[in-house]
Amino acid sequence: MRWVWLVWVGWLIAGSAWAENYDALRAGIVKVTTTDGRIGTGFVVQIDGNNAYVVTASHVVEGEQNPALTLYQRQNDPLRGQVIHLEGGDPRGLALVKINGNLPSGLVALPLAADNVRPDESIVLIGFPLGGGAWMPVVGQVGTPNNKDMTMSAIIEEGNSGGPVLYNRQVAGVVMKQSGEKTFGKAVPISIVKTTLENWGVVVGSSAHLPVTMPATSPEPCRLCPDMVNIPAGDFWMGSADNEPNADKDEKPRHKVHVDAFRLAKYEVSRAEFEAFVEATGHVSGECGIWDGKQLVIKAGSSWRNPPSFEQSGDHPVVCVSHDDAQAYIRWLNQQTGFTYRLPTEAEWEYAARAGASTTYPWGNAVDDACRFGNVADQAARQTFKDWTIANCRDGYVYTAPRGQFLPNGFGLYDISGNVWEWTCSAYNTKNGYDGSEKRCSSAGLRAIRGGSWDNGPVDLRSAYRGGYNPVNRDFNLGFRLAQD
């Protein structure tokens, strides 16, 4: 595994969007100081009336009954806490400190992540390395976890101990005590943290009786972040049944798949969103093609700015982007926002498209309802393309439509059928249908594309329909949608 080592020096990232998007969480992060000079970090997990409860590492407060707690809103006036739970004798031990009364307005309880973070995900620590007075961010990546701890590619200094490991603005672990001056970082994973807090009777993330407002220095909302829809975990039947009309052999075998909870963008990535990335990075995207029924024909001078045959506004879904272009956009977006976006797996895409239904199409079984739910090959398209197979309805667009013009599916996702095909991160097996690749991302071979587009008729709009494309190819009906854990 390739690691990028990052130290705590604040000026390296203090001006970046990565750090700024976590600034609001400072209201729930606490500097912990003992009478014998130890300094650590903690974070608020519960606010109950006029009391607050802070988690830290046990070694930070061991032997100290009333540590001083410095809150962001009271940096010049620390409060005295009371240690009410302590699990000592182990570097993974945790402690709970109670603040009795005199709470400042705007104090927040940090939310806890649902599950342990997977390897290679980007994380942020906010704490007080070397006892510094600033709420200092550190960025890094998660290593291979085990049942007891998680490793991180972040160097932990004295003063970071007990602080939160943040993933997507949620607590994913608690920084452990380290041996030596600087070592490979470790943390208590969130599964152990939650179990310990439950045993202590703590209701995590609650902020009763206090207005949960952010400090006046809170950053503006993330302007680059897409609207995301929470997709619950569940099982579904993926692929086509043996008796389904028009089913292709690559949709077999129909099989049950479990999908963990994740988030999927409400809309496809727009031309304006992609343009912001290109303007910021100078990314060069190549010429675009049209499928002529037999092969991809490249049109000279075409690009995402100039798709073959039609014009677009900024709110249309971007087209003429390869899988590689999409991944470059995602890397930039993750760096700018501090979140971790990705392409969905093929299984996640079909699960989200079906939204709990087993019907032929995401909207049901009636093909002529297609125009209520998406921009597809319709009666208007037939006037331009005489030989197309169409849905017997009219959606008002021949080529791409602005995002969100039609009804959403059962999960609240727009344009999941039609408008543009969407890249997934999964490999597409051209010979044997499903082989397990649909459940994971791949770094080689063809990639599965899903959803159909403005030039596709009923057969290609089915929830089970799938195609495969070379990741370097660009097409005038192919774009992408973002996913997030």
Question: According to the model, what pLDDT value does residue 213 have?
Answer: 34
Residue 324 reports pLDDT greater than 80: yes
What share of the chain in percent tops pLDDT 90? 53
Mean per-residue pLDDT for 329-349? 95
pLDDT at 295 over 90: no
354-373 tens-digit pLDDT: 999 989 999 999 988 999 99
Token couple for 380: 């208007």
Global model pTM greater than 0.85: no
Candidate from 25-39, 286-300, 311-325 with smallest mean pLDDT = 286-300
DSSP 3-state assignment of 270? strand
pLDDT at 21: 54
Give how far Cα 351 sits from Cα of 20, 215, 235, 370, 430, Å: 34, 40, 8, 19, 21
Query: For 206-223, what is each residue's pLDDT tens digit?
Result: 443 333 333 333 334 588
Rg of the chain (C-alpha set): 26
pLDDT at 12: 33
Percent of the chain exceeding pLDDT 70 equals 85
Rounded mean pLDDT, 446-469: 94
pLDDT digits (tens, 9 = 90+) for 190-201: 988 988 888 888
CB within 8 Å of 22: residues ≥ 6 apart: 124, 126, 137, 166, 169, 338
- On whether the CB atoms of residues 311 and 401 are closer than 8 A, the answer is no
> 130, 55, 129, 92: which is closest to 140 by C-alpha?
129
146: confidence class by pLDDT, cuts 50, 70, 90: low
Degrees, nearest 5: CA angle 249-260-329: 80
Answer positive or negative: Cα dihedral of 466, 469, 474, 479: positive
Q: Indicate whether 84 pLDDT > 50.
A: yes
Q: How far is CA 227 from CA 16, 222, 230, 289, in A?
A: 22, 10, 10, 29
Instruction: Kindly report the backbone phi and psi dihedral angles of residue 54, in degrees, each rounded to the nearest multiple of 5, phi listed first.
Output: -120, 130
pLDDT tens-digit readout, 51-74: 899 999 998 998 899 999 999 888
Side-chain half-sphere CA neighbours of 247 within 13 A: 18
Of residues 5 and 146, more confidence is placed in: 146
Band (454; pLDDT cuts 50, 70, 90): very high
Please check the confidence at residue 15 and state whether its pLDDT lies above 80: no
Question: Is pLDDT at 156 greater than 80 in this prediction?
Answer: no
Mean of pLDDT over the chain: 84
Specify the pLDDT at position 152: 80
Instruction: Take residue 3 and report the two structure tokens written for it.
Output: 């690691």
Digit-coded pLDDT (tens) for 396-445: 999 999 999 999 999 999 999 999 999 999 999 877 789 999 999 998 89
* Structure confidence at residue 299 (pLDDT): 87
- Measure the CA–CA gap between 60 and 366, rounded to whole angstroms: 63
- Cβ atoms of 27 and 177 closer than 8 Å: no
* pLDDT for the residue numbered 155: 67
What CA–CA distance (Å, rounded) separates 413 from 368? 20
Q: How confident is the model at residue 18 (pLDDT cuts 50, 70, 90)?
A: very low
Q: What pLDDT shows up at residue 210?
A: 34
The model's confidence at residue 245, banded by pLDDT at 50, 70 and 90, is: confident
The dihedral through the CA atoms of 472, 419, 234, 244 has a sign that is: negative
Mean pLDDT of 77-93: 80
Residue 395: pLDDT band (50, 70, 90) is very high
Identify whether the C-beta of residue 483 lies closer than 8 Å to the C-beta of residue 264: yes
Locate all alpha helices (DSSP H) within 1-150, ordered by sequence: 17-20, 58-61
- pLDDT score recorded for residue 61: 92
In whole angstroms, what is the distance from residue 57 CA to residue 39 CA? 11
